[in-house]
Structure 1
């Protein structure tokens, strides 16, 4: 939770996109790379046409339901500890936040707007890093950058 961009309460959710990919990997007997591609391509959009796709959609939705419950518990904890303070949005970060449809599903489930963070926004990114495509990894860098900056 943040006020005016200053963090007041931070909680890293103990599950995320890799957990979804690992579940797909184990349950469907595919490689992690295939599971990751399947997860990102499929997202929460629906449209399965084969039994394997139906299974994959079910597994993704089951994992996301656990994630939503974890976020709901965090919001409830904060609201109980800080009565009268309004939570205006949930900020999504990490590779799992790329899951198509996640923001909309979270917003509907929690009744709160969602937004993505740009973890590189407060950093100067050198030309060499731009050329290497560091922006493509920005969401994955959110937690390590936050821990690094928070430690100063």
Structure 2
């Protein structure tokens, strides 16, 4: 009787594998770009983010929590990409992989401006009391002035 039961169990198990196939693992993230989660940029920059998975799946993208649809997907490499023009800094770009709950978030932070030129060129400036003096600085990106500089 035990031998019959074992044969029946083995037959059912073999049929289950034959007709159902083998179970596969959930999709997982294999590669992200950029690899660093901290990205520098300025307003107006076009930044590209991508995520590659081990199998075909749906990937949702968001910018600061709001869904975006300007994405691309390459089914040959299972890679989803987002090209996004930075509108505010800092901002968070998130890719969420369906079926796993896995995700990747990049934070775009402001890139410090670089001084291209400045006037006057002298390192020491003298001025008579009550006279005004102009100082000019040119940088490589648009700036938002947050205050007024006063030198005494």
* Shorter-chain TM-score above 0.5: no
Task: Give the TM-score of the pair, scaled to structure 1.
Answer: 0.21
Q: Which one has the largest radius of gyration?
A: 2
More helix by share: 1
More strand by share: 2
